Structure 1
């Protein structure tokens, strides 16, 4: 007889998880104001954090409480992709001077606090003045066959690797929606547990959307859009068109998190608010 832990069939790609998830997941519906109250009483002391507006790939289904934060993209003179890092400055917050990374971009306030959740607030790369070059680099053991066969782990992501983006397909969902890759950001010489996972997608849809959208015009380039690839539910690593089981959630053309079936739309970038966790103090 199947046990409680076996209630999700393997075909769904849904990871088994303990009952403790239920209590934690119930917090996903807590509003921003209530979350701020919880944060103020339970979060560790540190730098930065608090109620933050951010641009996100919209969460359209599943238990995730909000979208995944977008990373603005730029391409250098040699065709390598970089994530834009905000301007580093010193401000007074809570009566003390702290270092923050924040800048105005595309009519929005872009801040490193966008990425301070799911433990990422403790990662070396999220520190505003961390000594990192901001290039996106390929990760290993990708969900994408093309990436595993054609590029090397740790190599910088290059525009030429996506020449077939307008027609690319892998048998999951529709071909031609965009070509994805998985990587890391601001994570050179960082232990695996502290590497910031990212996903980039090059798509003709992004190119079209950026023509009449101030934010996307400033935050995407040549059809490339990127996100911090941490599901806002339980911090798993989702995938765009990388999991055959995504059809169970009608997400074969979306970003799908197999852990608990959250779905994100990479072609709908929206402004959201959440409570960013503080970075550990110096």
Structure 2
């Protein structure tokens, strides 16, 4: 899979969305580099950094430290797919007025801080209140042959995935779901977030706690129930190791056939075992 150019960041019905604000964690600093490491002592202050709890698709193998965050999906009246981004609100933190973006999704705090790693925290669309497009826009980069019928930037729609219960690409099992590569939070002149969209019959089973999914923690299942719709789910497609862009059903590497595989260092993620985890979000420009 391609490596996104920001590997080294530049310096510088079930649905229940309830607006709410929770205090952000301690501010941290960022140094440019492959790991974009946190340096509390010497870096300039930003906003929205610190320890963050998120729900993501799980890491099952490889050197990546954690899963990738799941984006709540919304479907427009015309069938277009969109991602929910929390509304901006000003709060006082450490004697400063800081703009944050947090809301309640399924009983958990969903925050723009979920996406503050791998340089994404510097994208304009990550900023609370940014004038960004929430539609999922097609990125036909050759990963999936079916997307060759779409043009770059076409809005993805429900109809694009009508064959999701049978779709296959010769890797792993057919009928497990139909994926797409897309961009999200597009801004004029800015960079969009790379995301992956998946429509799978397993999504509604997760949301309803059916079969093996009855063992999902209650808060994770509640989040999945609120963050998915019509068997659609989506996640920020940035490997948490070195910021590469993985793909669902893109490799026959052992154990990755029906998972999300990052060929850079063989990390494998499973979209069907969502987990709640923590990480230290990097501060965005303030």
TM normalised by structure 1 equals: 0.82
Deviations 1:126-152 (A, max 9, x none): 00110013111011314000012x211
In structure 2, the residue matched to 1:139 is 139
Which of 195, 206, 221 is the equivalent residue of 1:209? 206
Q: Alignment partner of 2:205: what SS?
A: helix
- Aligned mates of 1:247, 1:53 — CA distance in 2: 32
Is the alpha carbon distance of 1:187 and 1:248 closer, same or farther for their aligned partners in structure 2, counting shifts above 3 Å?
A: same
Alpha-carbon distance between aligned partners in 2 of 1:201 and 1:229, rounded to the nearest angstrom = 12
Give the aligned partner of residue 165 of structure 2: 166
| 2:220 is aligned with 1:221 | no
Q: 1:38 to 1:81 in 2, by over 3 A?
A: closer
Higher-helix-fraction structure: 1
Deviation at 1:44, TM superposition (A): 3.8
Asked whether the 8 Å contact 2:124–2:187 carries over to 1, the reply is no
How far did 1:14 drift? Answer: 11
Aligned length: 245
- Asked if the contact 1:142/1:182 (under 8 Å) is kept, the reply is no
* CA distance in 2 between partners of 1:135 and 1:182 (Å): 13
Task: Give 1:196's aligned residue.
Answer: 193
For residue 23 of structure 1, what is the aligned residue in structure 2? none
Please state if 1:270 is matched with 2:275.
yes
What are the within-5 Å matches in structure 2 for residues 56-75 of structure 1?
Answer: 56-75=56-75
Structure showing greater radius of gyration is 1
Tell me the residue number matched to 2:218: none
Question: CA 1:167–1:42 in 2, change beyond 3 Å: closer, same or farther?
Answer: farther
The answer to whether the 8 Å contact 2:57/2:271 transfers is: yes
CA distance in 2, matches of 1:93, 1:154: 38
TM-score (norm 2): 0.81
> What is the match of residue 185 of structure 2?
186
| Aligned counterparts, 1:1-282, within 5 A | 38-41=38-41, 43-148=43-148, 150-191=149-190, 194-212=191-209, 213-242=221-250, 246-281=251-286
